[in-house]
Structure 1
Amino acid sequence: MTRQVLRLAAYGLCIVDGRMLLARYVSPDGTQRHWTLPGGKVEHGEDPFDAVVREVAEETGYAVEVERLLGIDSRNHHADWLGPFGGELHSVGVFYAVTIIGGSLRNERGGSTDLAAWIPATEVEQLERTVVIDIARNMYRNRPATGHVEPVAVGGLLRH
């Protein structure tokens, strides 16, 4: 039987002076690193609104407030890591625009990221990155009234 997993995550898009706040994901075995938005898994019983505030603080050191909901992305794909035969992963991402209200930039210790940085928006395209960055940028640019945009092509980008 194929394993089916639902993953709910919340992400914060923060843009200041043409720079985007990003965090560098590190795989559990330390062999993979790529850029992503600050954010991650919504814990059981946690509201995604609260999860994004917690995740941004954990991964970047900044206290943030949510400005607005950008939208929700839902995608399915096969994940080899879901058991001996892999499985089907249904990822639901809740994307928010966030504003810094306190704290200072620092790297996460002992978590899923190892580096937090402000990256010029003009340089993001050249980064090895997860698709969540492109999804959030698309939502931010288009500001869909329904919160739904056409799926962003994964192509050569990493999934997260």
Structure 2
Amino acid sequence: MDLRLAAYAVCIEEGRVLLAHSVKPDGTKTWTLPGGRVEHAEDPFEAVIREVAEETGLDAVVERLLGVDSRVVPAEERRVPGRPELQNVGVFYRVRITGGRLRPEPNGETAESVWTPIPDVTRLARSSLLDIGLSLALTTPATGHVAPVPVGGLIRH
């Protein structure tokens, strides 16, 4: 089993959430939260700030920890054939934008970033991580954990 530690930013302003449009090398397009892999010896707190800057061009500060999600992606559902199942451990933070200018990620997987009204999210082809992050931000459970999001239809791993 592969293991991935990642940090994700949930930024909500005026009823809109900041989304990143991810385009994978195989051409798969998915709306998700800004964020990604925590690098070797990097603190997830620092990683989320770095990821927001890299993917969106915006400067962010962490306001609070929202929670942690752990999910296993079966081998047959991974985008890279021949890889074993993947356990993704995601650390979700509420962030606030402090500056910068919205832009695509240079030489990266984020084709664009946009502010999207929260009610419009349900109509998007999106990562389950987006639903987890919004649920954590809107309900702020004391445990920092929400029920798993079913994958299918518009929702992908």
TM-score interval w.r.t. the shorter chain? over 0.9
The answer for the alignment partner of 2:108 in structure 1 is 111
Aligned 1:3-152 pairs, distance under 5 A: 4-29=1-26, 31-80=27-76, 81=79, 84=82, 86-152=83-149
Aligned length: 154
Q: Give the alignment's TM-score, normalised by structure 2.
A: 0.93
Q: Give distance in 1, aligned partners of 2:81 and 2:25.
A: 16
How far apart, CA to CA, are the structure 2 residues paired with 1:129 and 1:82?
18
CA distance in 2, matches of 1:7, 1:51: 13
Measured in 1, the distance between the counterparts of 2:151 and 2:28 equals 18
Per-residue CA deviations over 1:94-127 (Å, capped at 9, x if unaligned) read 0000001111111112111111111111211101
Which SS does the other structure have where 1:141 is aligned?
A: helix
Cα deviation for residue 79 of structure 1 reads 2.6
The Cα offsets for residues 68-94 of structure 1, whole Å up to 9 and x where unpaired, read as: 01100001121345553x411101000
Distance 1:46 1:117, change over 3 A: same
Q: Which runs of 5+ in 1 are unaligned?
A: none
- The residue aligned with 1:158 is 156
Offset, 1:154: 2.0
Q: CA RMSD in A?
A: 1.3
Q: Could you tell me which amino acid in structure 2 is paired with residue 138 of structure 1? A: S
Q: Secondary structure at the match of 1:134?
A: helix
What is the CA distance between 1:147 and its match in structure 2? 1.1
| TM-score, with length taken from structure 1 | 0.91
Structure 2 regions of 5+ residues with no counterpart? none
